[in-house]
Amino acid sequence: SRKLFFAGEGRDGYWTSDDMIEQLIKDAIPLFELLHPDSQAVFIFDQSSNHRAFANNALLAKRFTLNDKPVKEDEEFDFKNTTFLLDGEPCPQAMYYTKMETITKKKRSPGSKWLADCCKDEEPDSRCCARHFLAAQPDFKEQKTVICEVVEANDHIFEMYPKFHCKCNWIERYWGAAKDLARKESDYTFKSLKVNVDSYLD
């Protein structure tokens, strides 16, 4: 599965996480399932920022405001519902029209105020600021990237290479073989590469 595009402004733009998700949903996963029915794939990604992107409804504390803010359909984020722990018991919490201060007020002493972000290292009890407190909640800690969610929603396995992975991984082996063929069979002009790139990637 691959998509050929010409990167840059005034051309095809730049490859984004949305492009990656579209390729997975419409091409890579269906192609694997067609070629290997009743099998489970292992999708392995490197640490590209596109591969670490989150869905617009992901539970990320940094996306919340301290004060109430109306949520409209055309706004960037639309938070899914979650739970938080109050004295060890899970409490349902709707993430809609809700500010961090409302969500977290039961965890502060009466009359005390929350900071949105203390801009410091997190305290042991995570009560230094609203952002650290939310980020320490189980649902927030377990939030997965959008690519992971897509892969696992289709009953396949998602993995990521370490940031400094060795050069013998499958990604490097594939690109290494493609570049070796290109060096042997191409004069490395843009015209030649454009015509032959598909065959090199095969």
φ, ψ at 66 (rounded to 5°): -70, -35
Q: Which residue has the tokens 């095809």?
A: 12
The answer to whether position 1 is within a domain reads no
Question: How many structural domains is the chain composed of?
Answer: 3
The answer to whether position 28 is within a domain reads no
Q: Dump pLDDT digits (tens) for 133-181.
A: 888 888 888 889 999 999 999 999 999 888 876 777 788 888 888 889 8
Percentage of the chain beyond pLDDT 90 is 20
- Regarding whether 179 and 157 lie in a shared domain, the answer is no
Q: Which two tokens stand for residue 200?
A: 């090199």
Give the CA radius of gyration of the chain.
23
What local confidence, expressed as pLDDT, does residue 148 receive? 94
Greater model confidence, 117 or 65: 117
C-alpha closest to that of 137 among 147, 146, 125 = 125
- Regarding whether 136 and 82 lie in a shared domain, the answer is yes
